[in-house]
């Protein structure tokens, strides 16, 4: 069952989305060489709480922080801590906010100072993949068209998508149906969903500049590329509207 949101639920999600956007802005403003991933988590936590919401991630499935902070070869679900950011790194910050009983969720990958040209390209390809996915969101559209748009674009750029992790419905829970896949196997026929006004979900491509295989570190959370190639992750929360799509986590 996919929960369609009421006007008032959408208004709360809009507020939650604004809070996520502001928290990510605050994290971005704090990013520079010498800062730790734990510092960024504190910035996000303070921003979310300071705006009257609570961090969706803290304690969810046992996650110990308010933001997932993933550096370079770390893809998603990085546990913030003592890792120090250095010039030329990239850092993905993923955060959720719960406001009046409803969640929003967003992520962005930021350069730390000047990054290599191929790293810049990884960020551009991943952000463009997110926007191409979003361009498919409309009432009566098919959710798998989001997947196809992302996959065709990223693979056409010679990069790989992470296969095991994907976008998700959200609302009263952070993770609801439907799944919003970034990748499907050729010839497979995964469940498709027709989009309807009031549906809310994330789109969140994760792109690796190397092979697609991943593993989870012994900390039970941090997902890393097997070949340790760098990766990027861009995510927005969206609502299907009568006329198209609203980005709830727009900066």
- The contact set with Mg ion (CB under 5 A) reads 105, 202
- Of 115 and 203, the one with the shorter C-beta distance to Mg ion is 203
Edge-first strand listing for the sheet containing 74-76:
74-76, 223-225, 214-216
Alpha-carbon distance of 100 to 147, in angstroms, equals 31
Nearest-CB residue to Mg ion?
Answer: 105
Q: Which residue, 125 or 206, has its beta carbon nearer to Mg ion?
A: 206
CB 31, CB 40: distance < 8 Å: yes
- For the bound state, the minimum distance from the C-beta of residue 56 to Mg ion, rounded and expressed in Å, comes to 9
For the bound state, the minimum distance from the C-beta of residue 12 to Mg ion, rounded and expressed in Å, comes to: 18
In angstroms, what is the minimal distance from the CB of 42 to Mg ion?
Answer: 21
Rank residues 106 and 198 by Cβ distance to Mg ion and give the closer one: 106
Which residue has tokens 């993770």? 175
- What's the min distance (Å) between Cβ of 34 and Mg ion? 29
Residue 238, CA distances (Å) to 118, 166, 186, 235, 247 in order:
29, 14, 27, 10, 5
DSSP 65-102: SSEEEEETTEEE-PPPSSPBP-TT-EEEEEEEEEETTE
- C-beta of 204: minimal distance to Mg ion in Å? 5
Nearer to Mg ion, 35 or 105 (CB): 105
- Which residue from 210, 250, 213, 212 is spatially nearest to 234, judged by alpha carbons? 250
CB of 17 to Mg ion, least distance (A): 12
37 vs 202, beta carbon nearer Mg ion: 202
Query: Which segments within the chain are labelled E, that is strand?
Result: 54-55, 67-71, 74-76, 90-99, 102-111, 160-161, 167-169, 176-180, 200-203, 206-208, 214-216, 223-225, 231-233, 236-240, 245-247
Nearest CB to Mg ion, comparing residues 47 and 107: 107
């Amino acid at each position: 069952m996919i929960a369609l949101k009421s006007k008032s639920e959408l208004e709360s999600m809009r507020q939650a989305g604004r809070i996520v956007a502001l928290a990510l802005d605050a994290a971005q403003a704090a990013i520079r060489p010498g800062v730790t991933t734990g510092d960024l988590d504190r910035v996000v936590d303070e921003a979310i709480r300071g705006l009257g919401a609570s961090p969706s991630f803290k304690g969810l499935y046992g996650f110990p922080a308010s933001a997932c902070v993933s550096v370079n070869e770390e893809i998603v679900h990085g546990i913030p801590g003592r890792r120090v950011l250095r010039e030329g790194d990239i850092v993905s910050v993923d955060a959720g906010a719960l406001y009046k009983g409803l969640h929003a969720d967003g992520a962005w990958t930021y350069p730390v100072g000047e990054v290599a040209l191929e790293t810049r390209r990884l960020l551009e390809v991943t952000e463009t993949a997110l926007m191409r996915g979003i361009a498919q969101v409309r009432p009566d559209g098919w959710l798998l068209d989001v997947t196809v748009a992302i996959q065709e674009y990223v693979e056409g750029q010679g990069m790989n998508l992470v296969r095991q992790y994907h976008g998700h419905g959200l609302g009263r829970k952070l993770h609801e149906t439907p799944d919003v896949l970034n990748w499907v196997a050729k010839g497979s026929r995964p469940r498709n969903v027709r989009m309807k006004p009031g549906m809310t979900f994330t789109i969140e491509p994760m792109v690796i500049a190397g092979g697609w295989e991943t593993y989870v570190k012994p900390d039970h959370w941090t997902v890393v590329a097997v070949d340790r190639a760098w990766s990027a992750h861009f995510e927005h929360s969206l609502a299907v509207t009568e006329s198209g799509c609203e980005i709830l986590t727009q900066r």
